Amino acid sequence: MKIDILTLFPNMYQGIFDESIIKRAIDEGKVEINIHNFRDYTLDPHKKVDDTPYGGGAGMVLTCQPIFDCVKSLRNDDSIVILMTPDGEVYKQKKAYELSKKKHLILICGHYEGFDERIRSICDMEISIGDYVLTGGELASMVLVDSIVRLMPGVIEEESHVNDSFNNNLLDYPTYTKPRVYEGMEVPEVLLSGDHKKIEEYRREMSLQRTKERRPDLLEK
């Protein structure tokens, strides 16, 4: 997979893709991630990429030309162009699985007051990571990339994400490791039994219980 990210602040990505699972996926050639400063594409002699909004109002609005031209230079028949915006489709695990199977993603990160509405016309989908507003789309794009790359074949063991929270509309079951007792809190006996069927049943029960308590809305789907 190839992922191209359009941003005005490429330095924000320093470090995030240089550690842990994503770095390993890059080093092993499973994913290629490129950061593009779309200011480099502006035709404005002063390198402007924004302007005041028609009709008045606070803030500055990102202009079409640099983003259009940057996307045109990157897009091919396999590309999916995604606009990171708080009024987009709320991101879910199902969408992460869907996107992990694509060959090429182009992520557009807005900033300032917003972007010219016509920029939506070159996008295949619009995604929000939640009902809140950030200073820009950069952090949202990082969330997207992390959630997608970990699901790609060979990046982590499939068993590690098969039972992730939100798969089958359930939250994940509780997990434990050594020591068996810590400050009076004990590991449930069933997990020490070696009976795989009972362990599986226990985990399913705990997953269902946790979902009922914390996210009952998931069980209504």
pLDDT, mean of residues 197-220: 92
Q: Which residue in the list 4, 50, 66, 86 is annotated as catalytic?
A: 86
- Topology of the domain covering 163-219: Trp Operon Repressor; Chain A (1.10.1270)
pLDDT in tens, 188-203: 999 999 999 999 999 9
- d(C-alpha 102, C-alpha 201), whole Å: 35
- d(C-alpha 144, C-alpha 151), whole Å: 11
- d(C-alpha 185, C-alpha 94), whole Å: 35
Is 158 a catalytic site residue? no
pLDDT in tens, 31-41: 999 999 999 99
Confidence of residue 170 (pLDDT cuts 50, 70, 90): confident
State both tokens at 16. Answer: 């995030």
| Residue closest to 116 by CA, chosen among 90, 141, 138, 83 | 83
- d(C-alpha 55, C-alpha 116), whole Å: 13
Q: Which residue in the list 69, 98, 126, 164 is annotated as catalytic?
A: 164
Name, in order, each residue with C-beta under 8 angstroms of 181's C-beta and a sequence gap of 6 or more.
Answer: 187
Domain 2-158, CATH class in plain words = alpha beta
Q: Which residue in the list 113, 126, 146, 172 is annotated as catalytic?
A: 113
Is 164 a catalytic site residue? yes
58, amino acid identity: A
pLDDT in tens, 47-96: 999 999 989 888 899 999 999 999 999 999 999 999 999 999 999 999 99
Query: Rounded to the nearest 5°, which phi and psi values hold at 77?
Result: -65, -20
The pTM score is: 0.86
**Range(s) for CATH 1.10.1270.20 in the chain?**
163-219
Name, in order, each residue with C-beta under 8 angstroms of 212's C-beta and a sequence gap of 6 or more.
Answer: 219
CB count in 10 Å sphere of residue 127: 23
